[in-house]
Structure 1
Amino acid sequence: MSQESAAAEATGMAPAPAQPHHVLLVSSPFQSHVNPLLRLGRRLAAKGLRVTFTTALRDGIRLFDNGDGDGVRVGRGVLRVERLRGGGMWEPDDPRLRVPGDMARHVEAVGPAALEELIRREAEAGRPVTCVVVNAFVSWAQRVAGGMGLPCAILWIQSCAVLSVYYHYVYSLAAFPSGDEADSSGAVTIPGLPELAIDELRPLLVYSSGHEMWRQMLVGDLGSMTEKAPWVFVNTFDELEHEAIAGLCKHIPLIPVGPLVEPDDGSVDGDVYDGCTAWLDAQPRRSVVFVAFGSLVDIGYDEVVEIAEGLASTGRPFLWVLRDGNRVLLPQDALDAVVAACGGDLGKVVPWCAQGRVLAHGAVGCFVTHCGWNSTAEALAAGVPMVACPRWSDQRINTRFLVDVYRVGVRAPTPLTREALRLSVEEVTVGPEAEAMAARAAILGEKARAAVGDGGSSDRGVQAFVDRITSGGAEP
């Protein structure tokens, strides 16, 4: 019997309930980083943990209703948001936070003190932190956790294939062309991956010029994966990237936990934005072309017009997410003309929607996407074929897998033209391979749902982590 139980028995009082183990999630303040970490937090909370999410919040980042401040109940646990503050941290509306480089340097400078204070406040409130989980570009949070004696895990938010490319590059485990050779038509061979052309690698940080600060952060993250972090979560699932996972597991303690998509449990508002749900409900099955380019990709006026004309020319209903950040680049009269060109009642243009929920709707038959990994994972989980329009970062590699490996999409040029968009949508929806493409996408969707379901491959990874945390272990 514990000392607490013995004391309670002696006084005739019931012992105080044990506090659940507490996991602190620390994210970089980009929506594409916030979303998967929050979704991992939901899964951890559902298994009985207390989970607190924190970031250097800035305007435009969407989180969730924190209730009365104590968080929301998720399964057997609790998930709450606590903004990283103090120590000179800029307020969310500070315009300097809109400049990624300035934001990253500031958070790295003042974030450690703010995070230490947050961890101390939680302990004083009777909620001591058991473990810290971070994502990319916040390696300073790993140092804080280590200095306070807390085990730390990392969530890699891109595919395992891209992680493998970075790892093999940084540790010189594969022959990557350099200098003038990097501009040639050569290719790179990495275990578990198809041969990758230099053009597919060039947008990555290893080749992009003017990104030295981000490259240094990436190298720090990769070093932590092999030296400091006993758990490396990856937003993927074994059935999707089995060979890539098997190849990289020889170097990194990987735990696939994906796809990390929006829950279908009513926790996201049913009307996902401005009547989207009701509008989708009124459309025929698999008829809607859904267009969205994520939270960071900006498109100019000319391309907006081309997309509008291209969508109208398909003759299909469409839902188009045109972010406010892109809308402000256009004069109001020009925007009005673009919306009119969309075909009136044929389409719907919104500044935001709950993308995963939209993709899961039965009316959506095609997704025109930039192929960021969050969007890719959500579409795969929903079993929706894609028109791939990659821009930068990991998007070209994701496109290669979607088109040539999984065969659930087609490539379109960047920037998009109206004719290319029309032809690509036709190829995915009514072309000779459209039916087979849709069937393959549906099978992948079934495998994705099975992976995160009870006892699935990704669910087992999450459960193993929870079991280790609750047993007091600090090693996988």
Structure 2
Amino acid sequence: MADTKHKLHALFIPYPLQGHLIPAVHLAIKLASKGFTITFVNTQAIHHQISKAKSSSGSSNDNNDIFAHARQSGLDIRYMTVSDGLPVEFNRSLNHDQFMATLLHILSAHIDDLIRKITQEGPPIACMIADTFFVWPSTIAKKYGLINVSLWTEPALVFTLYYHMHLLRRHGHFACNDNREDIIDYIPGVAAIDPADLPSYLQDADISTVVHQIIFKAFAEAKDADYILCNTVYELEPETISALHIKKPFYAIGPTFPFNSSKSIVAMSLWPESDCTKWLDSKPAGSVLYISFGSYAPVRKKDLEEIAMGVLHSQVNFIWVLRPYIMSSDAEDPLPVGFMEECRERGIIVPWCCQMAVLSHPSVGGFLTHCGWNSILESVWCGVPMLCYPLLTDQFTNHKLVVDDWKIGIDIRRCNRSVTRNEVSAKIKALMATELGDDLRKEIKEVRRALENTLKPNGSSEKNIDLFIEDLKNKVCAQYGTATSTSSSFNTKPH
């Protein structure tokens, strides 16, 4: 039972993937700065990978607690790990379906055991903040009498498409032998969307996969959540968010990243980060194309080759992040033979880097991206227009927002088709050195202004997170029969 005479204690459980972990860590820090006690739970495998990356980077921080430095700054964040059901050394990148199956069937038992232990040792837990893609939050929250807060780390548009899967099925746009291809105009809060812009899993003909099982179960659970927090901005998706709020308390609280710094006080990178500053300093302003396809989705070898040749023929300076297992294999070099020899003077390849540090550097003038949501928000914040090459899941829908709705990027891939080197080269040149690129930079400044305004003291995201805290506090008081007045030890203002 929660005691509101003490700070509210939130159990925070991010999905064990890089793109989900980053906004979760930032949000946990923000809530702690507003008076929460946070118990943050990583899987042992994620913790092991973070610790390994820190060691490889020469960090001297405590490898047993990624929040040690945050606590030294006065934040009340505890840190725990739990098994995901697989050995730590198991290669989850090369065995994707087996990894997903453990998240579907096994992880919940370990979470259950962990919550039982925490409830016995205290302090009492008021609520659980868990990623929407987990398949057990509502069930476990009910078992332990916890308020269930669902964290959605993607745009509200993607959330509402999954939330209304039943409408897509009813109208023949999803889970049919021959999905309809006409425009979808019946989703509440969505004016219209082309089926090619749906998340990839809602375009699939085979819906028996383990990922589809996760999606179906996760959104059945999400519909029972008490509150939904979304890493988006109201001003960017007002109609969609307003329609969702009618169905469920839905708070746009993004972007969660610290807007006054490119470096987090908490280690959360799964790979060692290369420092590209010296190389970037040697290049003219706006001359460098940053290339990264994120932390998760694989790229086809043929497409990688065509993109590489397009980059080569464009003659631009570039930094290219090629993470391990970029092709879902352990191939040593996914690039064409001789590629780096031909462009050694104007390009570097790194396995991973601090993306915000690179994007915010004055020499970077464009971003060839997979359209992951974190990457889009970071690119907008740094004022860098995008070349869009979506690969999987929400990235196709994110691409629509960037190219069609906000007009801050150019697509080089649509409808899951292959790319050609000539097209890649031409669009790189257009982004980096034409009036079109200049127009995109003007538009992205306007979108960035929306992000800046929402994070001001009276901005929508700041108001929404304070409203969520107040609503949560009142629900805790009502649920446990205590007074609704604010405890002097619970401060809703940032420290």
Q: TM-score, normalised by structure 1?
A: 0.84
Task: Report the CA distance between 1:333 and its aligned residue.
Answer: 10
Cross-structure match for 2:346 = 346
Q: Which moved more, 1:352-361 or 1:465-474?
A: 465-474
1:234 equivalent among 226, 230, 237: 230
Distance 1:269 1:473 in 2: 32
Cross-structure match for 1:276 = 276
Cross-structure match for 2:201 = 204
Matches within 5 A, 1:31-430: 31-58=18-45, 61-62=49-50, 69=65, 71-73=68-70, 76-85=74-83, 89-95=85-91, 98-171=94-167, 175-177=171-173, 179=176, 181-182=178-179, 184-201=181-198, 203-205=200-202, 207-226=204-223, 228-261=224-257, 264-265=260-261, 266-267=263-264, 273-326=273-326, 329-331=330-332, 337-341=338-342, 343-413=343-413, 414-430=417-433
Could you say if the C-alpha distance between residues 113 and 190 of structure 1 is closer, same or farther in structure 2, counting changes exceeding 3 Å? closer
Task: Report the CA distance between 1:127 and its aligned residue.
Answer: 3.1
1:302-354 superposed Cα distances (whole Å, 9 cap, x missing partner): 3333323322322322111011213864455967723223x113112111112
Q: Which moved more, 1:387-396 or 1:357-366?
A: 357-366
Cross-structure match for 1:24 = 11
Could you say if the C-alpha distance between residues 389 and 145 of structure 1 is closer, same or farther in structure 2, counting changes exceeding 3 Å? same
Distance 1:430 1:211 in 2: 46
Cross-structure match for 1:15 = none
SS at 1:73's partner residue?
A: helix
1:382-413 superposed Cα distances (whole Å, 9 cap, x missing partner): 22211111223222222122111101111103
Aligned-residue identity in percent: 24
1 or 2 for the larger relative contact order (CA 8 Å, sep ≥6)? 2
Could you say if the C-alpha distance between residues 117 and 334 of structure 1 is closer, same or farther in structure 2, counting changes exceeding 3 Å? closer
Q: Which moved more, 1:257-266 or 1:156-165?
A: 257-266
Could you say if the C-alpha distance between residues 186 and 122 of structure 1 is closer, same or farther in structure 2, counting changes exceeding 3 Å? closer
Contact map agreement 2:167 2:187 (CA 8 A) in 1: no
1:56-96 superposed Cα distances (whole Å, 9 cap, x missing partner): 342685488566637332665233432113xx933321346
Q: Which moved more, 1:438-447 or 1:303-312?
A: 303-312
Task: For 1:104, give the aligned amino acid.
Answer: M
Distance 2:49 2:478 in 1: 32
Unaligned runs of 5+ in 2: 55-60, 485-495
Task: Report the CA distance between 1:151 and its aligned residue.
Answer: 0.8
Distance 1:376 1:326 in 2: 20
Task: For 2:338, give the aligned amino acid.
Answer: A
Task: Report the CA distance between 1:239 and its aligned residue.
Answer: 1.0
SS at 2:201's partner residue?
A: coil
SS at 1:410's partner residue?
A: strand
SS at 1:320's partner residue?
A: strand
Task: For 2:351, give the aligned amino acid.
Answer: P
Could you say if the C-alpha distance between residues 163 and 334 of structure 1 is closer, same or farther in structure 2, counting changes exceeding 3 Å? closer
Cross-structure match for 2:58 = none
Could you say if the C-alpha distance between residues 262 and 333 of structure 1 is closer, same or farther in structure 2, counting changes exceeding 3 Å? same
Task: Report the CA distance between 1:241 and its aligned residue.
Answer: 0.7
Task: Report the CA distance between 1:198 and its aligned residue.
Answer: 2.1
1:133-166 superposed Cα distances (whole Å, 9 cap, x missing partner): 1113323233222201111100112211111222
1:414-444 superposed Cα distances (whole Å, 9 cap, x missing partner): 5433222221122222333222210110121
SS at 2:76's partner residue?
A: strand
Task: Report the CA distance between 1:128 and its aligned residue.
Answer: 2.9
Q: Which moved more, 1:37-46 or 1:212-221?
A: 212-221
Could you say if the C-alpha distance between residues 474 and 432 of structure 1 is closer, same or farther in structure 2, counting changes exceeding 3 Å? farther
Distance 2:203 2:287 in 1: 40
Task: For 1:231, give the aligned amino acid.
Answer: Y
SS at 1:298's partner residue?
A: coil
Unaligned runs of 5+ in 1: 1-17
Distance 2:208 2:339 in 1: 35
Q: Which moved more, 1:323-332 or 1:460-469?
A: 323-332
SS at 2:391's partner residue?
A: coil
Could you say if the C-alpha distance between residues 347 and 231 of structure 1 is closer, same or farther in structure 2, counting changes exceeding 3 Å? same
Task: Report the CA distance between 1:19 and its aligned residue.
Answer: 5.5
Q: Which moved more, 1:465-474 or 1:237-246?
A: 465-474
1:443 equivalent among 422, 435, 446: 446
Task: Report the CA distance between 1:183 and its aligned residue.
Answer: 5.1
Contact map agreement 1:20 1:49 (CA 8 A) in 2: yes
Q: TM-score, normalised by structure 2?
A: 0.81
Distance 2:389 2:96 in 1: 23
Cross-structure match for 2:468 = 465
SS at 1:127's partner residue?
A: coil
